[in-house]
Amino acid sequence: MNMNDQIGAAQLMVELGERSYPIWIGSGLISRIGRAFQLQHIPTGSPILVITDDKVGPKYLHQVAEALEYVGYSVSTHQVPSGEKSKSLRVFEDCISAALEAGCDRKSTVVALGGGVVGDLAGFVAATYMRGVRFVQVPTTILAHDSSVGGKVAVNHPLAKNIIGAFHQPDMVLYDTSTLQSLPDRDVRSGLAEMIKHGLIWDQSFAAWCEEHAEQLLAKDEEALTYGLLQGCAIKAAVVSQDERENDLRAILNLGHTIGHALEAVAGYGELLHGEAIAIGMIGSARLAEQMGMAAGVAEYTERLMKSFGLPTAIPAHYDTEQIIAAMMHDKKFNEGRTMFVLPTAIGRVEIRRDVPVEQVRDIIEELKGAGTWQ
Amino acid sequence: MNMNDQIGAAQLMVELGERSYPIWIGSGLISRIGRAFQLQHIPTGSPILVITDDKVGPKYLHQVAEALEYVGYSVSTHQVPSGEKSKSLRVFEDCISAALEAGCDRKSTVVALGGGVVGDLAGFVAATYMRGVRFVQVPTTILAHDSSVGGKVAVNHPLAKNIIGAFHQPDMVLYDTSTLQSLPDRDVRSGLAEMIKHGLIWDQSFAAWCEEHAEQLLAKDEEALTYGLLQGCAIKAAVVSQDERENDLRAILNLGHTIGHALEAVAGYGELLHGEAIAIGMIGSARLAEQMGMAAGVAEYTERLMKSFGLPTAIPAHYDTEQIIAAMMHDKKFNEGRTMFVLPTAIGRVEIRRDVPVEQVRDIIEELKGAGTWQ
């Protein structure tokens, strides 16, 4: 971990050649966003468009705009309804209209102020407006530590999540941990699921650290959060640096997502939080791995970990198994007639497999509907 | 010019490192598209989606699908209404639905069968579906020789043309000159305007060749067309290879487009053909350059060239000058408070200028409304 003394924040660099960028994490960073823009040489001559939602906007939009205007930026803002439903082409078009009305040009910057939904949506706006403009992420949820690293941006289609998107790296990520203090507990738990995932795919000792610090993390202790977010981002950055466009390695970040995305699609976007869905998915993957003789004991460990964070460990019994299977077939991870699973081989190690028989997936889904807790 | 004997076509390589791709030009190529796919190692395991419009589809869709199926590809098709209005987010969403329904996955290929509208639309589908899949262009107009090289893809917003888009290089371009034979004369002229533009920005001798062969080109002589298209594509490829993402040099391809795009926006997309609009724009640029003392005689030469191809040389008198100026301000070429002009310094040489006073632009527009021919 490095410190950037110029803005007083922990700094992590995501190494992507000429597209490398810094992630800054610290308390009260939003008030120093103007200085951060200057450090990244973002030009003042073109309008900045801040996209946020109607939950985050009222809390922080004024502060962000003021801090940018103070150092000479011209700022326009656009607020969308909160929730996954805003990741639609309709809302995307509204954002493009807002960019045009603000007079945004090729040297403009789009700022995402909010959680993963706002980040994905605003990121897709930045990726496509005039074929791509600068992009800055200001995440205000724990979950967004995952989505704000790596440049994947997208909106949903009624039939499939994240199906319309791009790879578009931000110019910087500015993580103000004080914005996390007002997060509802359910969102905290959901966000921590992605943090734990980073331990499970890459670093056994970080997984153990998560388990040991569950209490502090759930209580939003700023020191624990800063360390956990930095580690989570660092693991994701290490993976993405090696495989920006997901040709192979990057796919390991999808642990729990094959089942998880299908559950989200069946539930209707928004009913099940993303972290909740992948918590169940990670348990499913571990069980599949055990049945295939790949990883003894990992399923039990994974389930214990999820329980210690108050995350669900079972599929709600009323979800239709065949609908879940069908949703998997519409996912980006399905191709050439097979779906992809990320399966653990040990704690902190995973393998990408395309040979999981659909019958076995069906059995695991049935099993997950029978047992465990679902709040 | 090289020949590729395996499919019997003239071949030009667009050099873009690992994104390099071939352009094949020849008569009857559509019937050999299956072989071309094999040569480019396009996998047979994932569905192919051919996007076309309701004018081109009835003529060639069956032939394309059959040729691909013959060598083992699974093919789905999607037909959109012909015309610029199909470059909308609504029609784009329909295409994404079609891709999902066809079961397209990450290894699928989107084929654009048609003119520039279909190429831009299908290209944006390929750029964003699952964050990017393979893309093949099968242009059926002369105008598309320009848009099919260089990877610029986009749809329109009601307020601005091509404002939502991406850079997404095709895997190959397959140009069947026999499909050009059924083009209406007005489309032939419009397409040739872009061909002439390539001479005017880069190669005086090619501009002269165009003038000498105006008659053959207008009569759709296949030999003249093949040579002209290859030269036009080669010039564009040379420019794009040096500056894929339009940081500087690539902007020279916009000769005539600052005024041209504004005219198209004011006319309502579709009323004025693209080549017609840029023909007027190229004359405007040459006059601006003359007034600024940059290029004596180029305006007269440009006007004569446009006339020899039956292209318009005046702005329709009922267009509102202030509306034209306002449309320029919404264009991607406008940033940091100034609009960009590509101005000739000689025949075959241009310069990018951002210092043209708006008053002078206004004068030129008024002048162009007063004189010349408009059919």
Separation of alpha carbons A112 and A121, rounded Å: 8
Mark whether A57 and A190 lie in a shared domain: no
Nearest Cα of chain A lies from the Cα of B361 at a distance, in angstroms, of: 20
* A190 shares a domain with A126: no
Q: Looking at CA atoms only, how far is residue B312 from chain A in angstroms? A: 29
Name the token pair of A225.
Answer: 């959060």
First to last CA, chain A: 37
Task: Read off the pLDDT of residues A321-335 as tens digits, 9 standing for 90 and up.
Answer: 999 999 888 777 666
Q: Mapping DSSP to helix (H, G, I), strand (E, B) and coil, where does residue B115 land?
A: coil
Q: Is A107 a catalytic residue?
A: no
Query: Closest-CA residue in chain B for A152?
Result: B131
Q: Considering the domain boundaries, does residue A191 fall inside one? A: yes
Which stretch of DSSP H or E encloses residue B290? Answer: helix B274-291
ipTM, interface predicted TM-score of the complex? 0.88
Q: Any known ligand binding at B213?
A: no
Name the residue in chain B with its Cα closest to that of A102.
B330
- Let me know whether B335 and B205 are in one domain: yes
Q: Give yes or no: residues A207 and A129 share one domain.
A: no
- The verdict on B162 and B206 lying in the same domain is no
Closest partner residue to B105 among A107, A245, A336, by Cβ?
A336
Same domain, A178 and A189: no
- At A50, which CATH number? 3.40.50.1970
User: Each residue of B172-217: pLDDT tens digit?
Assistant: 999 999 999 999 999 999 999 999 999 999 999 999 999 999 999 9
- Domain ends where: A160, A182, A204? A182
Are B106 and A335 in contact by the 8 Å Cβ rule? The answer is yes
| Contact yes or no for A165 and B335 at CB 8 A | no
Inter-chain CB proximity A107 and B335 less than 8 Å: yes
Chain A residues contacting B, CB < 8 Å?
43, 45-46, 89, 92-93, 96-97, 100, 103, 105-108, 127-132, 152, 154, 157, 159-160, 163-167, 245, 329-330, 332, 334-337
Q: How far apart are CA B143 and CA B250, in angstroms?
A: 18
Nearest-CB residue to A164 (from B96, B107, B157):
B96
Taking residue B31's Cβ as centre, other Cβ atoms within 10 Å add up to 14
CB atoms within 10 A of CB B309: 21
pLDDT digits (tens, 9 = 90+) for A118-151: 999 999 999 999 999 999 999 999 999 888 888 9
Do residues A112 and A137 make contact, with C-beta atoms less than 8 angstroms apart?
yes
Residue-level pLDDT, tens digit, chain A, 375 residues? 577 778 888 899 998 888 899 999 999 999 999 999 999 999 999 999 999 999 999 999 999 999 999 999 999 999 999 988 999 999 999 999 999 999 999 999 999 999 999 999 999 999 999 999 999 999 999 999 888 888 999 999 988 889 999 999 999 999 999 999 999 999 999 999 999 999 999 999 999 999 999 999 999 999 999 999 999 999 999 998 888 887 788 899 999 999 998 998 898 756 789 899 999 999 999 999 999 999 889 999 999 999 999 999 999 999 999 999 998 887 776 666 678 999 999 999 999 999 998 899 999 999 999 765 655
Q: What is the mean pLDDT of residues B47-66?
A: 97
Whether B132 and B9 map to the same domain: the answer is yes
Query: Which of A165, A182, A199 is the last residue before a domain boundary?
Result: A182
Q: How many domains, in total, are found in chain A?
A: 2
Per 3-state DSSP, what percentage of chain B is helix, strand, and coil (rounded to 5)?
50, 20, 30
- Domain holding A208: CATH number? 1.20.1090.10
Cα A298 from chain centroid?
Answer: 24
Residue B260 lies in a domain: yes
Query: What range does the domain containing A177 cover?
Result: 2-182
Number of A/B CB contacts below 8 angstroms equals 97
Give the nearest chain A residue to B151 (CA atoms).
A131
**Domain-embedded: residue A196:** yes
- Among A362, A254, A259, A360, smallest CA distance to A312 is for A259
At which of A157, A182, A207 does a domain end?
A182
Assigned domain for A375 exists: no
Residue pair B348/B204 in contact by the 8 Å Cβ criterion: yes
Angle at which helices A321-329 and A358-370 pack, to 10 degrees? Answer: 140
